[in-house]
Each structure stands twice: as structure tokens, then as C-alpha cells.
Amino acid sequence: MPKLVVIAIGGNSLIKDPQHQSVDDQYAAICETVYHIVDIIEDGYEVVISHGNGPQVGFILRRSEIAYLHEGLHFVPLASCVADTQGALGYQIQQALENEFKKRQLSQKTVTVITRVEVNQEDPSFAHPAKPIGSFYDDQQIQNLRKDHPDWTVIHDAGRGYRRAVPSPVPVRIVEIGAIETLINQGFCVVAVGGGGIPVTRLHDGTLEGRDAVIDKDHASSLLATQLKAEMLLISTAVDNVFLNFGQPDQKALDVISVKEARRFMAEGHFASGSMLPKINAALDFIEHGGASVIITSPQLLKAAVKGNAGTRIYR
């Protein structure tokens, strides 16, 4: 049996800079990343792909906000924004994959699964929303929004205005896991759990309900890798390695570290909460639930990293 690898593509890595944010720019970035993913497939690995969607959801929300402010149109629910990006980015990843398969005369097939991820209805984040999303608003705009959306939590960012804050609950179950497993067994390269998955909670009667929340992409990818019993989790990001003292004159790239060392570096404050810390936490969670190893690196180094020649590898 081929070894199964889950590859998590960062949403920010699909937008290289403020001058390259269009849909065409994102597709070009996806094609570059997919080229390196197919290198791994060509080496005999089975691959499942997840992806981030932070900037892309931000664009949808911004369009929705502009439509609200100028035409009075309704806001797009956040759960629907996640579903929209799963479809749009999944389409681009599928197309890039199939075109690359054709160039290399490979017979693989690909499919995207619109994926719901169950979270606990009692997750503490629902009582204390703290994940900022969307645009900044001034005093007058926020008064109108509070009137129209009394259920929103709004936080003030000193000097920049107000932003909406939403919960970021812990993922507990991937609803479509059975379908994903079936597709893998049928030979498909599956794209799933985009943007951390569409957040849903289970009601008392057993039905599911979409929630306005943001699930961390890396944690959801870790859960996906765990439930699929993947050999390895690859987290593709904007840097080649995890660093100690990142951005400082004495920064040091990490090559191979143990879970124990990773926890020590976390305690010493080396990993920023908004960037590397969630990736490290997701890596440790995967390994502690039976995964063999996690690699964190940039897209162009994925193949070399799998061979042990690049990136940061965290092992049990």
C-alpha cells in the first residue's frame, strides 16, 4: 500500500503579495505549489490536500460589506463563505492537478469534497469570540452594524477601528470522513477540509447546524490526517523552516526536533500565536494521536523535505 500523506496548503501562501491578489494570481500560485505536490505523488505517495482560506474569506466578506453599505444587500453567513472558498479553491487545485497529471502522463484522478467539520456546541470560544475577521469600521459604521446585527461581537483595534470577532472552536469530527476514505480507496487525489472545514454543531435531535465561526486550518488538517491514519502531515507555508528567534539577527533554522524539544521552544515563546504556533500545536496533536512525523516547509521544498533533505521535521 502506498504511504498516505496529508498536505496542508496555507491560504496566505496562495497570495504572494498585495500586488498579486486576483483570482488569476491565486491560480498561478496554486499551479506552482501543485507542481511540487505532484512530484510527491510521482514518487509513489497517496496525497490528500487541505488548504487555508483566510484572505479569500476576507475578500468575500469585504464584497458582502460593500454590497450592504451601498445597496443594503444581506451579509453572506460566514459558514457559506467557507463553503464558497472550498468550491472555488478546490476547483483551482483540481484543475492544476489534472493539468499537471496530463503533462506527466499520470493516470490519477482528483476531486474536491465540500467538507463539514463538527465542533462542540459548548466550545468556550462561542461564549468568548476573539478571532477578528473582515474589514475595519469607523464609529458611525459600527453603530449601524450593531443595530442591524445585534448578535455580532465587535472588538476595537486601537488606531484602526472596529472589527467583527467570531469564535474559533476546536474541530472534533470530520463529517465527510467516510466519503473521503472511499474516494482515496478508489484512487482519487482528494481535496478536503478547505479552510478548516465548514463549522457545524450537532443539535439535541441529532441534526447539524452551520455556525458562524472559523476553525483553524492546521488543527483541522491534523484531525484529517489522524482520522485517515496518514503516515505524515506536511504543512506548506511561506518559510522554508521553523525558526528560533525568527526575524532576529540570531535566528536559527530548525531541521529535526522531537516533540519534547518543540514543547520547550513553545514554552520559551519562540512561536508567534498568529503564525507558527498553531502549526506546531497541530503537529504535536497529530503525532500524539499516532502520526509518525510532521514536516513544515515551503512549497518548493516539499519533495526534498519528504526525502529528509529540507524543512523542519517533528518526530515522536
pLDDT per position as a tens digit, 190-208: 999 999 999 999 999 999 9
pLDDT at residue 158, as a whole number: 64
13, pLDDT greater than 70: no
What pLDDT sits at residue 132? 80
Handedness of CA 204, 209, 212, 215 (dihedral sign): positive
User: Does residue 225 surpass a pLDDT of 90?
Assistant: yes
Catalytic residue from among 52, 90, 217, 303: 217
How confident is the prediction for the chain on average, in pLDDT? 91
Which of 52, 53, 90, 131 is an active site residue? 131
For this structure, is 53 an active site residue? no
Burial class (CB in 10 A: 0-12, 13-18, 19+), 54: middle
Contact assessment for residue 209 and residue 43, using Cβ atoms and an 8 Å cutoff: no
pLDDT bin (cut points 50, 70, 90) of residue 172 is very high
Rounded to two decimals, what is the model's pTM? 0.90
312 pLDDT above the threshold of 90: yes
Extents of the domains making up the chain: 4-117+177-315
Residue 279 annotated in active site = yes
Better-scored residue on pLDDT, 171 or 151: 171
Tally of CA atoms within 13 A in the half-sphere of 111 that contains its CB? 14
Q: Is 252 a catalytic residue?
A: no
User: Which fold does the domain 4-117+177-315 belong to in CATH?
Assistant: Carbamate kinase (3.40.1160)
Q: In Å, how far are 11, 177, 303, 307, 315 from 312, measured between CA atoms?
A: 20, 28, 13, 12, 10
Q: Which residue of the set 52, 194, 195, 279 is catalytic?
A: 279
- Give the residue carrying C-alpha cell 498553531: 278
The amino acid that residue 67 corresponds to is A
SS3 252: strand
Percentage of the chain exceeding pLDDT 90: 72
Mean pLDDT of 61-83: 88
Annotated catalytic residue 11: yes
**Mean pLDDT value of segment 276-302:** 95
